[in-house]
Each structure stands twice: as structure tokens, then as C-alpha cells.
């Protein structure tokens, strides 16, 4: 989960920067300019500083393409309709509709929204949604899915299997590094021992603290174990995970057999090597060693 923030950093930012481009690609001969005067140098440095403050992506070599493009000068808006796309080899953006609102520092996309970042030698991030909005001044944004759909977020590093997250809505604040997924949240991570899944109604991740909170029917599972609770908290800073509320249930299999345990609270390190059951603990264990024990012949 700690990497999910990175795909959000490219979300719509490249399209915002390019919203003033035409819908066709036009190329001309390179023109060499004479050395700029001091005033021009100062102006260029000022513009460069402003662009850095607004955190525009460095690569802007492509142009936005669309079936139609309309400028509303009075409103400081530019509207793109039909097959809206941008691809410079690193950033890719597609949608059915896009609107740039310069006065509000805002960019909106609708219909089959797709964003991808694929920098050479870096992880690949992808996002699918039906609606997206990003304010490049506040660095806040939102992704939502249409009814009966879900947004889909994908992270892949090198040859490792991709991690995929699904939800109805995702809100993010890049300035503070806070990301919230809501509505039938599900995260899937392939692993050698089998598929690992995480489900909840809400997931909130604070990047600076490596802190994840799952709430509302939270569940963590792999091929051997399942943990169910009202709330599950992953604390990366302190290497601790806690499950609480609604009497957390831990069930699964181990070398000793199958088990199911209920407690008031379940705590463990984030690797699951040490598990503590707190409060009123109840459960059972079915072990082949116990079943085959000679003591059973006495009963």
C-alpha cells in the first residue's frame, strides 16, 4: 500500500499542463534564437520557478488530441470532446471528455478515464475510473466509478506481480500524502503462497507515517489464514498491526492443524511472526497429532 501514492502524483497533472494544446500535432523546423537579454532571462527564470511550484511534469512533448476542441476565453476554459488522449511515452491519458478550468486551477475528465505513468527504470502506475477531478493548486483530487462499476488502481514494480486495488471512490491529497478509498474496497496481491487479499468498506493511508486503517467489515486473507474484524490498523512506523471491534476472528491452518480463534483484540508484528490475543479468548484447534495420540484410545 505504501506505493499507491505514486500513481496519484501523475493523475491528470500532465493533462492539466497540456490543456492549452490543439487537437492536432503540428511540427516545424527548429529555430535557433539569439542570446536573450537580461530582462528576458529574468522573465524565463520567473516562469520556470512558477512552473516548478505548480509541480507540472517535466515532459510535455506531446499534444492533447480529441474529436473537438473549444476555447471559452471569458471563462478561461478549454473543452475537449471525443477520444481525448495524450501520450508522450511516459505519461498516458485517455477519456471521453475533458475540461480545463484555469481560473479554478482544475481539470476534469469523464468517461473511460485512464491514466498511466511508466518512467524508465521505475514502477508502473495505472488508474481506471469513470470520473476524475484534480486541482493542481491544492493538489487534491477524486476518482469515482459509475453505478455498478469500480475504479481500478494498479501498481507494478519490475517483474514482480502487480498489486491491484478496487473501490467505488478514491480521494487524495498529494500535499499531505493522504489517500482514502471507499466503497467495497478490495486489494489483491499475488504471492508464491497464493493470492493475498484485503477487503473493507473504507481504507485510509497516510504516506508519511506508513499508516493504513481498514474499517467496516475489514478482512485480511491469504491461502492459509483469514483475519476478520471491524477495524484493522497497519502501523508501519512501529511494525505493529491491530485488529479490534466485533470480536476479531482469526482462522486458518498451520503445521499443527486447522484453527479458529476469537478474541477482544488481535495484535501482531507486520510479518505475522508474533501474534498476541488479548481479552476474552475462545477457539479450537484440530490437530492430526492430537487425533492420532494414544491418549484418545482411553476415551
Give me the CATH number covering residue 243: 2.60.450.10
The b-or-e profile of 256-273 (16+ CB within 10 A means b, else e) is eeebebbbebbbbeeeee
| Interval 120-163: pLDDT, tens | 988 898 999 999 999 989 999 999 999 989 999 998 888 888 99
- The answer on 196 and 113 residing in a single domain is no
Quote the CA–CA distance of 173 and 15 in Å, as a whole number. Answer: 18
Question: What residues make up the domain containing 174?
Answer: 1-186
- The answer on 102 and 46 residing in a single domain is yes
Query: What is the tally of structural domains in the chain?
Result: 2
Looking at 125, 157, 186, the residue that finishes a domain is 186
Looking at 186, 216, 235, the residue that finishes a domain is 186
pTM of the model: 0.71
- The answer on 203 and 290 residing in a single domain is yes
- The answer on 73 and 46 residing in a single domain is yes
Looking at 154, 186, 218, the residue that finishes a domain is 186
Place of cell 486458518: 252
| Interval 215-225: pLDDT, tens | 998 998 888 88
Which residue, among 101, 108, 134, has the nearest Cα to 9 in the 3D structure? 134
- The answer on 230 and 129 residing in a single domain is no
- The answer on 132 and 267 residing in a single domain is no
Percent pLDDT > 70 in the chain is 74
- The answer on 205 and 118 residing in a single domain is no
- The answer on 13 and 77 residing in a single domain is yes
Amino acid at each position: 500500500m505504501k506505493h499507491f501514492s505514486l500513481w496519484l502524483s501523475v493523475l491528470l497533472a500532465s493533462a492539466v499542463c497540456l490543456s492549452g494544446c490543439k487537437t492536432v500535432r503540428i511540427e516545424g523546423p527548429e529555430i535557433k534564437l539569439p542570446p536573450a537579454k537580461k530582462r528576458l532571462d529574468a522573465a524565463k527564470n520567473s516562469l520556470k520557478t512558477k512552473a516548478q511550484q505548480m509541480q507540472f511534469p517535466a515532459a510535455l512533448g506531446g499534444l492533447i488530441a480529441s474529436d473537438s476542441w473549444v476555447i471559452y476565453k471569458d471563462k478561461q476554459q478549454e473543452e475537449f470532446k471525443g477520444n481525448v488522449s495524450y501520450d508522450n511515452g511516459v505519461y498516458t491519458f485517455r477519456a471521453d471528455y475533458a475540461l480545463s478550468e484555469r481560473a479554478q486551477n482544475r481539470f476534469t475528465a469523464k468517461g473511460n478515464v485512464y491514466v498511466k505513468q511508466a518512467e524508465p527504470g521505475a514502477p508502473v502506475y495505472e488508474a481506471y475510473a469513470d470520473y476524475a477531478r484534480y486541482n493542481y493548486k491544492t493538489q487534491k483530487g477524486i476518482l469515482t466509478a459509475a453505478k455498478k462499476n469500480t475504479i481500478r488502481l494498479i501498481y507494478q514494480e519490475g517483474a514482480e506481480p502487480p498489486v491491484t486495488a478496487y473501490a467505488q471512490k478514491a480521494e487524495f491529497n498529494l500535499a499531505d500524502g493522504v489517500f482514502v478509498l471507499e466503497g467495497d474496497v478490495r486489494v489483491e496481491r499475488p504471492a508464491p503462497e497464493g493470492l493475498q487479499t484485503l477487503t473493507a468498506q473504507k481504507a485510509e493511508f497516510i504516506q508519511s507515517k506508513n499508516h493504513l486503517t481498514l474499517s467496516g467489515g475489514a478482512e485480511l486473507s491469504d491461502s492459509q489464514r483469514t483475519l476478520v474484524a471491524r477495524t484493522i490498523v497497519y502501523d508501519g512506523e512501529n511494525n505493529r498491526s491491530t485488529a479490534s471491534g466485533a470480536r476479531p476472528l482469526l482462522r486458518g491452518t498451520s503445521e499443527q492443524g486447522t484453527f479458529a480463534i476469537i478474541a477482544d483484540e488481535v495484535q501482531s508484528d507486520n510479518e505475522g511472526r508474533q501474534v498476541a490475543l488479548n481479552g476474552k479468548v475462545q477457539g479450537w484447534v484440530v490437530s492430526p497429532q492430537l487425533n492420532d495420540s494414544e491418549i484418545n484410545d482411553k476415551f
